[in-house]
Structure formats: C-alpha cells, structure tokens
Amino acid sequence: MNSFAFLEKSARQQGDGLALIHGDERISYRDFHKRALAVGGNLVALGCKPGDRVAFCLANSPRIMEVIFGCFAAGLVVVPVNARLHPREMAYIVENSGARILIHGGEYEEGIAANAALFAGVRRISPDAAGSAEPYSILLDEANALGAAVEAAPEDLCWLFYTSGTTGKPKGAMWNHRMVRTVIMNYLADLHNIQPGEMVLHCAPMSHGSGIVALPTVARGAVNAISDSASFDVDALLATVERLKVSHIAFMAPTQIVKLLEDYVPGRYDISSLSAICYGGAPIYVEQLKQAMATFGPVFVQLYGQGEAPITITGLSAAAHARLLAADDPRIGSAGQVRTDVEAHCVDQNDNPLPPGEAGEVVARGDVVMPGYWANPEASAEALRGGWLHTGDIGYFDEQGYLFLLDRAKDMVISGGNNVYPREVEEVIILHPKVANCVVFGIPDDYWGEAVHAVVVPKEGETITAKEIIDFCGEHMAGYKKPKAVDFVDALPVSGYGKILRREVRDQYWQGHSGRIGGGAAAQAGGR
C-alpha cells in the first residue's frame, strides 16, 4: 500500500482533531490531508511523474510534513536535505538524486544565489517566496489537488536518505513503502506505543530522526507539535511541554539531554505529562543517563539504527531502562536488544557469525533494511553483501541479546548527534595553499561526545594558524563539520604503503578513555 494511507486513515478517524502545531499555526487532520493532496497534485502539474525526486531543505515547520505526504500521495520520492549543510553540499545531493524540484527556506536563498550554477535547471520553491524562488502557495492550488493517492507497490521507492561514507561523498539510502511501514510498526511495537491525540514534540531536525518519528505519530492520529525555537532552548522546550501537555519528545541527541540537565530548574515548569523521550544518534555516558533518569524519571527510550536501516535495529524501551537501572545492571550501557522483526548479529572479517561476547561488525537484515544506495551499485553490493546490511559498527551481543557498541569499522565522527566524515573534512583542508598534509578524527569531548579534530602538516616555510584552518573549512562546508581545534606537526606517521596511520595519531588523544565512540572513561550507552 501507499504510505499515504496512514494519513488517509487518521484524517478519516480524527477529522477536526489536531495534526500539526507550530507556533500559532494549528492544522487539523482534515486540513493536513487536503493540503498534502494539493501539494502532490501540484507537483504533478509542474511535470513530476511517479518515481521523480523532490528535495526539500527546510527549517522545522508543518511544510515538511505536507511535502513528505504530498510526495507519497503522488508516488514521488522525497529527498530531505539537512538544513545545516553548506549550499555546495546541498547542491551535490540535489544533483546526485536528480531532483527536479527543490523546496527551501528563504534563509538559504543567499547561499544558493552565490552558487547559482550548481542549481541550474532545478525548479525552486520557497515558503518565504525568497529571491528567484517561486512561492510555496503554488503547491496549494486546490484546482490541481489529487482526488486520492496513487497506487504504490511495496517495492516502490518513496524516500532517499542521504548518508555519507568514508569517501565523504553522500550516498542516498533508498527507502521503499515497505520500509516506511516497517519503521512505523516497529516504533509503535517496540519503543513507544503512541496513542491517538497524544502530543509529540519535535525539537530536533525533522529531516532526520525526529521527522521519522513523525510518521508513527501520523499513523496513530496523534499531534506533531513542532518547536518554533530557532535553536535548542531548554526553557522554551519545557514551557512548551507544560503548555501543550506534551507526553512524548520525538527525538533528542545526547548533547541535548546534557544541555537539558545543565539548564533544568526543578519546579519551574510542570512537566508531569512527559512519559517518553526518544534519544539516539550518538553515545551518551551512563552517568549522564542515570542523572537524567533521576531528574526526569523513567521516560527515556533509546534507539540504534542508521539511514540504511532507520531507527529500528535495536532499542531499549522506557520500561527496560527503568528495570536495568533499578537492578544496577550494566546492560543500561548497551544499545538494547534486536527489534521484533529484525535479525542482527556480529560477524568477523570473513562474515562468519560470532558467538555472544565476541566483538565484530554488526550486521542486520529484515524489511527495515534498504534495498541499496541510489545510483551506486558498487556501494550497495559492499554494504549488503551476503544479504546482510554491514553497519560499519563494531560491537558484541551478550548472552541475552543486548548489543554493546565498541567502535566503528569506519572513521566516522559523531559530534552532537551529527555524522562527520574525516575524509570529507580532509579534502577541504588540503585545498588550503599553506597545507601539505592533514588527518582528521574525533577526540573525546564531555559535551559533544566527540569533537572534530585536525592534525595539519604545513608546507615548508609556511606559517598558519588554527583559526585560518577552521575559517577555511567554514567557507566550504557546514559549521558542525569544522574542526573544533587544530594541532600542527612536522610529519604524519605512514605505513609501508604510504598510507597515513590515522589510528596511531588518533590513539594519542584517547589514552585513558575506554571507548572509541564518544569519549570518556565511563561506560556508555547510545546509538547512531
């Protein structure tokens, strides 16, 4: 079935019930359904055909949900773009996906205009009617609205989720309607059983994890309440929880939980309605998790997954958190157990299954796993060899099936819940005229989990500062990818084959720390 059916059912059952809240904007399920059909119909009127890609780069708002379900209705493939990306990075995703249309906020107009050649041939639409973009209102013309969603097979693509590899070039994980249904049902079955009318708050980017949790919210006819704060503000968040009687915060990165603990003032707000906070995307220290549970109660729900198997490989429910904490069980530091209809285990370098307690690469299979990467058969074959998704994460399962993550097979850095790929940063730094060589990796950071760090070899006779390197990176990529600090050396260690020994350099910064996925000597919990 077409995933639009989830909205169709909720509109029929909830009618005038609230679907979307953002600031003063209130949209009922009936109107949400009508607007999504209009968006889908007008995209078709603009020349889109089933299977065509439509990209969006938007700050959190109801427009995101209208575009997603509008694309579902028309049989189109939605391509969310991280709103924090540099325009050049945005352009790469638009070009690689072959998106015919880009829907973006007015705040990106200046950057797009400065890189206009990269967006040539792409029709641009903006809710702010910014610059040369056409107004979003053209997508709401009821004269072109669809009467009903198009038919869709389970294998039909509906989403491209861009996630980078060690080469630094983003890859589009293909999602089909079967995957979306599996994500929805698994979330409701294993993590948090959202109920009709429940208030679900979004305070993280809806182009990623939070937006995925919005899907089961729609399926159950609950309310997607979208924070209107431009940045993560604890007072604004908790005031919203009190005002709307929020029961479920859709997704928080561990850094947001740390910030929540730092800024929380007991008794200032009534947050007794809160029953679930979903977290993931990066590790969290066990001590921080224990402190959070002591402060806010047994409300935390952990998920572990990746764009290739969204939010559904393993998980730890609120009840499991409470049980493990009460027993002082070290499994509170795990990434939970394999989800109901997912298979997962660890394998050695030859893909042989490993027994409990023995570390190897985490692999998974099931309907939640992508069929492959968009227009990248080589990467697809490598990631899905043997019929199993190879996650690139190193860990082990204990005797009861709890997954403990130890390291990454790849060199990705997770900083504040954002994936940063060292090669991508290195390729920018090496462009600097004063740089001879460099290596980038994550180092332990008490707040960010990992901080992006660069070690640079200047060209002979050149003098360069850390600020110059950091500012140079900021001219070419998203701010969160920039190094937080830079060290300078005369040479980098290399292997007999001339390859930089990244881990040898990195390990100097990890001495005295137990993990390689977040830093710190404390045991950790969390996932990607």
76-80, 126-130, 185-189: segment of lowest average pLDDT = 126-130
Task: Give the class (CATH, top level) of 413-513.
Answer: alpha beta
Cα-based angle 382, 212, 76 (whole degrees, multiple of 5): 75
Q: What is the pLDDT of residue 518?
A: 38
Residue 521 has pLDDT above 60, yes or no: no
| pLDDT tops 80 at residue 514 | no
d(CA 525, CA 280): 9
Rg (CA), the chain: 23
| Nearest CA-CA partner of 222 in 71, 9, 42 | 9
Mean pLDDT in residue range 517-526: 33
- Residues 174-192: what's their mean pLDDT? 96
Domain boundaries, the chain: 5-331, 340-408, 413-513
pLDDT value at 234 more than 60 = yes
Residue type, 270: D
Q: Any idea which of 148-157, 269-278, 512-521 has the lowest mean pLDDT?
A: 512-521
pLDDT value of position 498 = 46
Strands, E, within 380-472: which ranges? 389-397, 403-408, 413-415, 418-420, 435-445, 449-458
What is the model's pLDDT at position 410?
66
Q: Which backbone phi and psi does 489 adopt, to 5 degrees?
A: -135, 165
pLDDT of residue 407: 60
Residue 28 makes CB contacts below 8 A (sequence gap 6+) with 14, 15, 16, 17, 18, 19
The larger pLDDT score, comparing residue 5 to residue 395, is at 5
pLDDT for the residue numbered 166: 40
Predicted TM-score of the model (pTM): 0.84
What pLDDT is recorded for position 145?
A: 98
Beta strands at 248-252 and 276-279: parallel, antiparallel or unpaired: parallel
Specify the pLDDT at position 421: 76
Angle at alpha carbon of residue 50, lines to 47 and 54, rounded to 5° = 65
**What six digits make up the tokens of 200?**
């679900």
> What mean pLDDT do residues 221-240 have?
94
Note the pLDDT tens digit of each residue in 461-511.
999 999 999 999 999 999 999 999 999 999 988 754 346 788 889 888 987
Residue 168 is predicted with a pLDDT of: 59
Rounded CA separation 467/312 (Å): 40
Backbone angles phi, psi at 431, to 5 degrees: -75, -20
Indicate the SS3 state at residue 381: helix
Average pLDDT score over the chain: 91
**In the chain, % of residues over pLDDT 90:** 75
Predicted local confidence at residue 443, as pLDDT: 92
The DSSP string of 488-528 is E-S---B-TTS-B-HHHHHHTTSTT-S-SSS-SSS-EEE--
Please report, as a single letter, which amino acid is at residue 76: L
Place of tokens 């999504």: 36
Residue 339: what pLDDT?
95
DSSP three-state, residue 252:
strand
Going by C-beta distance under 8 Å and a sequence separation of 6 or more, which residues neighbour residue 431? 472, 476
pLDDT given at position 409? 64
| Domain 340-408 in CATH 2.30.38.10 | yes
The SS3 assignment for 30 reads helix
Among 8-12, 122-126, 167-171, the minimum mean pLDDT is found in 167-171
CA–centroid distance for 499 within its chain: 31
Query: How is residue 324 written in tokens?
Result: 């493990």
Q: Using alpha carbons only, what angle is made at residue 113 by residues 111 and 118, rounded to the nearest 5 degrees?
A: 90
CATH superfamily entry for domain 5-331: ANL, N-terminal domain (3.40.50.12780)
Max intra-chain CA distance, the chain: 72
The structure tokens listed for 379 are 């990467």
pLDDT tens-place string over residues 80-117 = 999 888 999 999 999 999 999 999 999 999 999 999 99
The CA angle 265-269-272, to the nearest 5 degrees, is 110
Mean pLDDT, to the nearest integer, of 377-389? 97
CA distances from 386 to 29, 170, 351, 365, 369 (A): 43, 23, 8, 10, 13
**Residues 406-438: tens digit of each pLDDT:** 766 667 788 888 878 787 888 799 889 999 889
Query: How does strand 223-226 pair with strand 199-202?
Result: parallel
* Structure-model confidence comparison of residues 230 and 341, the more confident one: 341
